[in-house]
Amino acid sequence: MTRMTRRALIASAALGALLGTAACNVDQGNTTASPAGATGGASSAPPKALKVGWSTIYLAPSWMQQTLRMLEEDVAKLKAEGKVASYETFNANGDTSQQIAQIQAMITQKYDVILVDAGSSTALNPVMEKAVAAGIVVANFDSLVTSEKVIRVGTDQVEWGRMTAQWLADKLGGKGEIIAMNGPAGVSVSEERWKGAEEVFKKYPDIKIAANVHSEYNLAPAAQAFASAYSAHPSITGVFSQGGALSAAALQTLVKQDKKLVPITGENYNGFLKLWADKRKDGFSSIATAQPNYLSVIALRAAVAKAAGTAVPSTITVPLPKITDENLDQYVKPDQPDDSYPIQPIPQSEIDKLLGA
């Protein structure tokens, strides 16, 4: 059986499962009947309670699990308000063709709102635009597509790299030797963060990038990658890291080998925040930012508002949080797992501002 045939069968199976028993579904909310007076009815009728689905390229990572819990909590609030009738989550397990099939099935099943965390910045554009043409509100968050016909909710990844690299350049006084820890080559988030970092480092010719390492955003492979680079460049004075597990891997390596602790940029990965808090007394310093889980809530709120006829921005860029030595204690959670991503909740008033309310 050829690879293409296998992929076609997988996509077909996913579509069939969704149309039938929602086999791809990992969480199924209670479905209630839509109230009388749905959209298009008399002007005095209440807005239609919406049928909402979320298609995500992955669900296994802890960041996704936190996102799911946050989304479900907000769905519960909207159900209590009569704005959402039903909600389901669909996991594409890393298969973009399966994600396309899921979205197509949601079009067929006449969902009112489709949320998407995309596995590709371009491959999903046609089916998402087809959903929009069918009258469905589509909101994309976190991993964004290029289509301008859907609501997109994200952060500025280039600014992420720019902000943390500038902190490191300032910390080093504009000179030194660093290891760059980036995500997998070709992944848009990694490429954009490094693009911002490079803009900064090019202004400092006395900062030498001794090694540019690419690793999965997981602790074990990142630790192996950093250890290899560090063994070749033990005289580094800093580490630019664009992922929390990557930062934790670098700091753990220095601690385990009893080496001098150098400044390392980071993310709100709790394992890194814990170690940072522990080593702060020894002079270790860092800066971290976050891809907030509440992007999902903002996307949901924007879609629900648009479905009710309210104008919302087509692109919503959420400000990047900044975690420093001074406010670290507000973020680190000593009693929570290392692979969690602590973040301060966003007030409804801030969501309203982002939606232009």
* Domain 50-155+292-318 indexed as CATH 3.40.50.2300: yes
Please state which of the ranges 214-218, 238-242, 305-309, 350-354 shows the lowest mean pLDDT.
214-218
Strands (E), the chain: 25-28, 50-56, 84-91, 113-117, 137-141, 151-154, 176-182, 207-214, 238-241, 264-267, 286-289, 315-317
Angle at alpha carbon of residue 255, lines to 254 and 256, rounded to 5°: 95
> 157-289: what fold?
Rossmann fold (3.40.50)
Supply the pLDDT for residue 188. Answer: 75
Reported as half-sphere exposure (CB side, CA atoms, 13 A), residue 137 has a value of 23
pLDDT band at 48 (very low <50, low <70, confident <90, very high): confident
Residue 222 near residue 312 (C-beta atoms within 8 A): no
Supply the pLDDT for residue 39. Answer: 40
pLDDT band at 32 (very low <50, low <70, confident <90, very high): very low
Please state which of the ranges 201-215, 319-333, 342-356 shows the lowest mean pLDDT.
342-356
Supply the pLDDT for residue 36. Answer: 32
Mean pLDDT (the chain) is 88
CA distance 96 to 123: 8
Q: What's the rounded mean pLDDT across residues 168-193?
A: 92
pLDDT band at 37 (very low <50, low <70, confident <90, very high): very low
Angle at alpha carbon of residue 123, lines to 121 and 127, rounded to 5°: 115
Contacts for 354 with CB less than 8 Å, ≥ 6 apart: 298, 313, 316, 318
Residues of the chain with CATH 3.40.50.2300: 50-155+292-318, 157-289
Residue 169 near residue 204 (C-beta atoms within 8 A): yes
